[in-house]
Each structure stands twice: as C-alpha cells, then as structure tokens.
Amino acid sequence: MEKPKTRLFVDHPLGEEQAIPLEREQAHYLFGVMRLDAGAAVAVFNGRDGEWRAEVTQAGKRGGTLQCVAQTQPQSTPPDVWLMFAPVKKARTDFIVEKAVEMGAQRIVPVQTEFTNSERLRVDKQQAHAVEAAEQCGATFVPTVEPLQRLDRLLADWDPARRILFCDESAVGAKVSLTAVTPGPWAILIGPEGGFSSAERDRLRGLDHAVPISLGPRILRAETAAVAAMTAWQMAVGDWS
C-alpha cells in the first residue's frame, strides 16, 4: 500500500475506525489545495496516538470527515531535550522553530536575553509553524512552543536536574567536547545574534548544571547553531545514538 502523500496533524483522538471531523481550514487544505476526493488516503497524527492511515469519508467545502484505517507508526516522543533560543528576525525565528521540530526537541522555549532584539513573539503562529514542521518531517510528536520568557527569571527558577548545554560564542575556536554530556534531561541554549552579555555568561558559567559548548572555529548564526548543537546532543545521548 502506497504511503499517503498528505500528512495532517489533527487535534482529535485516533484509533481503529475512529471518525475525525475536519475543521474548515483542514477541509480547505485537503479538498481545495490538495484536491483529494472521498476515498483518498491521508496520514494523520495527533501527537499522542502515533500515525494513522485515514480515508476521506466526507469531503465538503467547509468541513468533512476522515476515518482511521490502520496505525502506520507507533507514537514516538523525542528524548527529553528542550531548545531555548533568543528570537531573531522573523524569518530566522521561523527557521529555528522548524529546525527544533526536525531535530527532535521536546519543548521550544524562546528566551529574552539582554541582547535579544525582538521582544515579541506570536506563540500561536510559532506553534502552528511547529505543527507544519512535524507534518513535513514525519514526526508523530509536536513540541510545545512556550511564551517568551526572560532568561534571568528562567535561570532563577531552574530545576538543576535538567542540565543546560549553552553554546558559548566566546569559546569560538575551542575544541568541541561532549564528554560532559551524559544521559538525562537537558536544555540546549542558543545565544542571541549579539551574544550573551558578560553578566549572563558569568552567571551561566557559575551554574553547576550548565555546560558550555563551542561550535567550531566559525561564528554560527542562531539557526545553524541550533541544528549543530542538537546534532551533537542527539549523537551523544539522544535518539541518533
């Protein structure tokens, strides 16, 4: 049986013969944009029940229904790693969220640092963006995008059981070492374009549960650093290892 070309996130329980009512936008996408008819196959997932092959049972302009046929992937939740980053220009922030999903972050935490340019972030838009990225990359899990939080407050309330791998651009050129990255819950922290302030860097360096990492001899943009740090982490202790 061929794999359905269309993959859709639905916020609805999935299971044997389960009917899934479609929202207006979903109907528009499936029947208007993708031009599917009744009987067409769609891959669906809801972030909890794995991936299912579903069939269109009713196709309308403003709504419709799918019905689950069979599970095609079990639920797979990425390892316990968060991606924390300082929002940059809109297009690159979108990219970071997309990359966080592809690379298997479990939670996406935008943080406001002293040198963060952007002080606003549309959580709803970024969450929708994370859903789209999950639809594209074949994941059955969608990370939650948190509202923008101040880094100093976040660190003040931090649970030290979750270690922080912070990408320290002042360490550019230092050899990359992952020996301190051992299994357990982690958060990867990517600095803003202007780097961390010296107060922030001192504070991070003073935390027992924070580990600095250098990402090679060149200065990486935030979205590149996000992918590189996630790669290093996933290879060391995550679901690539």
CB-hemisphere CA count at 13 Å for 56?
A: 23
Number of residues near a copy of itself (by CB under 8 A): 32
C-beta of residue 30 within 8 angstroms of C-beta of residue 8 = yes
C-beta of residue 169 within 8 angstroms of C-beta of residue 193 = no
DSSP, collapsed to helix, strand or coil, labels residue 238 as coil
Residue 184, by phi and psi: left (phi above 0), alpha (psi -120 to 50) or beta? left
Stretch binding a copy of itself (CB under 8 A), from 15-23, 55-63, 93-101, 154-162? 93-101
Positions 146 through 175 that interact with a copy of itself (CB under 8 A):
172, 175
What is the distance between the alpha carbons of residues 136 and 8, in angstroms, rounded to a whole number?
A: 9
Give min distance, CB of 154 to a copy of itself, in A: 26
Stretch binding a copy of itself (CB under 8 A), from 51-59, 122-130, 133-141, 201-209? 133-141
Establish if 240 lies at the interface with a copy of itself (CB under 8 A): yes
Establish if 138 lies at the interface with a copy of itself (CB under 8 A): yes
Positions 164 through 223 that interact with a copy of itself (CB under 8 A):
172, 175-176, 178, 215-221
Residue number, 146 or 169, with CB nearest to a copy of itself: 169
Give min distance, CB of 101 to a copy of itself, in A: 8
Residue number, 109 or 215, with CB nearest to a copy of itself: 215
111-148 burial, b at 16+ Cβ within 10 Å, e below that, comes to bbbbebeeeebeeeebbebbbbbbbeeebbbbbebbeb
- Where does this chain bind a copy of itself (CB under 8 A)? 76, 95, 98-99, 102-104, 136-139, 172, 175-176, 178, 215-221, 224, 227-228, 231-232, 234-235, 239-241
